[in-house]
Structure 1
């Protein structure tokens, strides 16, 4: 059966010297509103997973515990994410803002087809 949706997950780490609280506040209150119109324009669902102090403990892998959160994009058109990242709006508004609060060079991203079981 062909996939009906796709998911991209990006594990991100806050900028050195930034507190976890400041990171989450900036990511949600400043960066989130920049991402929203761009994501909506391309039919993307955007979620932030804040994995810090309020997250349940003992469930992260040791490697991934070095990251402060992950961004999740969901989309139904397999070309949507490529088109979205090529959009001048992303390059002008979203991408430069990432440098303010996160370490892009250590971001881990993966994309795949989504299979929902339950």
Structure 2
């Protein structure tokens, strides 16, 4: 069973949104992925970058848009594998100090669980029965 961790993050107030997205997208992955336990224990890593302009417009329409600047998603084969990454001394020595330069670690929020695909490639996932519009 694949475990998924999503961490919702906010930029530091002292960092511009442009710098945050550029640094997080281009520089931080080099540091994060340099840690051996990350390479060993994670099967997938991706980032979700919010668009502040779109978020502001949708808020004006009354939609409940989360107050985060992005989300990091990590996949592992077990909870133990995933948690070992975040408890690893090398992660704390190398990655945490880098994070402290651009994101507010205290404002981060984590979810952990499994993913269930229900719709993919324009059709229901296996085992899902729906009436398709013709």
Which stretch of structure 1 is more off in the superposition, 40-49 or 12-21?
A: 40-49
CA positional deviation for 1:94: 0.6
Q: Which residue of 1 aligns with 2:26?
A: 29
**Structure 1 CA distance for aligned equivalents of residues 54 and 46 of structure 2:** 16
Structure number with larger C-alpha Rg: 2
**Which ranges of 4 or more aligned residues in structure 1 deviate by more than 6 Å?**
none
The unaligned stretches of length 5 or more in structure 2 are 120-134
Aligned to 2:87: 86
CA RMSD after TM alignment: 2.0
Gaps of 5+ in 1: none
1:1-20, CA deviations, whole angstroms, 9 ceiling, x for partnerless residues? xxx21110111000112111
> 1 CA distance for matches of 2:95 and 2:88?
10
TM-score (norm 2): 0.74
- Note if contact 1:49-1:71 (Cα within 8 Å) is conserved in structure 2: yes
